[in-house]
Chains A and B, each alone.
Chain A
Amino acid sequence: GAGVSQTPSNKVTEKGKYVELRCDPISGHTALYWYRQSLGQGPEFLIYFQGTGAADDSGLPNDRFFAVRPEGSVSTLKIQRTERGDSAVYLCASSLDGSSGANVLTFGAGSRLTVL
């Protein structure tokens, strides 16, 4: 598609529930990234995929968070046993080639997660 698409745009859930957030990157982009933006803060890196594999998952806060990209295109961020502190906007980005120094990320509009 023309841009990075994220669904849902808004998600309200209850504490302890399981949540999935989807990201559809720009067609042809091999690299995909997830960031989290809490209220009043800049985005924080979570995980980066090059193709189907996670090249860097050092930003995932704990083992409740998991992300997949099985076919090297669409990615799903999965959060188990959600906590109120998980409330944030989850941003997805993609780029042509994550292994290049000239790498430039294009961001989606984000998925706003609210955990009650």
Chain B
Amino acid sequence: AQSVTQPDIHITVSEGASLELRCNYSYGATPYLFWYVQSPGQGLQLLLKYFSGDTLVQGIKGFEAEFKRSQSSFNLRKPSVHWSDAAEYFCAPRAGGTSYGKLTFGQGTILTVHP
């Protein structure tokens, strides 16, 4: 069965510190991979996506993610966190073929940023 795991439910970092949010997936073939961010009362906003090609992808707000096929991972990183990055982050793989409409979201990682 297809699944996605975000092992860290809650992460706290200091402003200016680096950040890595983990995402592991289990799919028969390499899925399309997405990271979304959700701020309180806001809709989900796409941070970045991986379809193919270069395994290090750049996104908005200074975020990047690295696809590692051997580890079935797609971890999200940011070199220096800002207080405005406090939000909930979701990894969401999507299978190919006829399932283009169906994202499978992880449970989410809540990020708290201390001043």
Interface residues of A (CB under 8 A from B): 3-4, 31, 33, 35, 40-45, 48, 50, 55-56, 58-59, 91, 93, 98-110
What residues of B have a CB within 8 angstroms of the CB of A103 in the complex?
A: 94, 100-101
Q: Is B70 an interface residue (CB 8 A)?
A: no
Are A91 and B46 also in contact (CB < 8 A) when A45-B102, A103-B100 are? no
Interface of A is mostly: loop
Q: Is the CB of A104 within 8 A of B46?
A: yes
Q: Is the CB of A104 within 8 A of B44?
A: no
**B87: min CB distance to chain A, Å:** 14
Q: Is the CB of A42 within 8 A of B101?
A: no
What residues of B have a CB within 8 angstroms of the CB of A56 in the complex?
A: 98-99, 101-102
Q: Is the CB of B42 within 8 A of A98?
A: no
Give Cα A112–Cα B2 distance, bound, in whole angstroms: 28
What residues of A have a CB within 8 angstroms of the CB of B41 in the complex?
A: 109
What are 24 sample pairs from A and B whose C-beta atoms fall under 8 A apart? A4-B43, A35-B103, A35-B105, A41-B108, A42-B90, A42-B105, A43-B90, A45-B102, A45-B103, A45-B104, A55-B101, A56-B102, A91-B43, A91-B44, A93-B44, A101-B100, A102-B51, A103-B101, A104-B49, A105-B46, A105-B103, A106-B46, A107-B36, A109-B41
